Amino acid sequence: MTATPARSIAPAAYDAVSRSLHWGMATLIVIAFVLGLTVDLFPKSWDHALVEIHKIIGTAILLLLLVRLGWRLTHRAPAPEEGSAILSFAARAGHIALYIVMFIVPILGILYAVRRGQGLDFGLFALPPLQAAEPRSITRPIRTWHELAAYALIAFACLHAIAACWHHFIRQDGVLRRMLPASHRKAL
C-alpha cells in the first residue's frame, strides 16, 4: 500500500501563521500608505516622528514579507478552488503580483531614505545614516517611484479584496473562509 505523506495533502484552510501574517501585514500596509500620504497634513513639528514611524512600519513589512515567503515555501497552502483554469491562473498571478509589489515598495523607500542621508530613529536608539544626503534632484525620481509603487500595491490589494468578496457573496464558495480563523469558518 502506498500511503500519501500527510505533508503532501493540501489543507482545507490557511494555517494560523499564514493567516496572522496576511491580516497583520495588510493592516500595516494600509497604515504605512495612509501615513506616507498624510504626513504633510500634521503640524510641521510632527514631521520627523511621523516619517520615522512610517519607515519603521515599512521596514517591518519587508522583514515580515521575508518570514512570510519562507513560511509559504515550506508549508502547503489550500488547493485552488474548483473552477476554470483561467480563474486559477488569475488568482495565482494576482498573488504573485502582490508579493512582488510588497517587496518593491519598501525597497524603494529604503533606497530613498538611504540616499537622502537618513538613518532610522527608533526613539530609544537610532541606526546612523549610511551616506551623506544626495541632492533632491537626484533622489526625487526614487521617491516618485516609491509613491507610484505604493499606489500600485493598494490598487492590486483592492482588486484582490473585491475578488475575495466576489467569491464569498456571488460564487458562495469557501475561498474567503479559508483565510479566516477556524471559529469563523462555519458561522459564515
CA angle, 76 as apex, 70 and 77 as ends, to 5°?
Answer: 100
Which region among 4-12, 103-111, 129-137 touches ligand HEM (by CB under 6 A)? 103-111
Q: Return the residues of window 128-167 that contact ligand HEM according to CB under 6 A.
A: 143, 146-147, 150, 153, 157, 160-161, 164-165
- In angstroms, give the least distance from the CB of 5 to ligand HEM: 21
55 binds ligand HEM (CB under 6 A): yes
Residues 153 and 105: beta-carbon distance below 8 Å? yes
Residues 138 and 114: beta-carbon distance below 8 Å? no
Rounded to 5 degrees, φ, ψ at 120 are: -135, 115
Name 65's Cβ contacts closer than 8 Å, sequence gap at least 6. 25, 99, 102, 103, 106
At residue 46, what is the residue type?
W
110 binds ligand HEM (CB under 6 A): yes
- Interface residues toward ligand HEM, by CB under 6 A: 22, 26, 29, 32-33, 36-37, 39, 51, 54-55, 58-59, 61-62, 72, 77-78, 91, 95, 98-99, 102, 105-106, 109-110, 112-113, 143, 146-147, 150, 153, 157, 160-161, 164-165, 175-176, 178-179
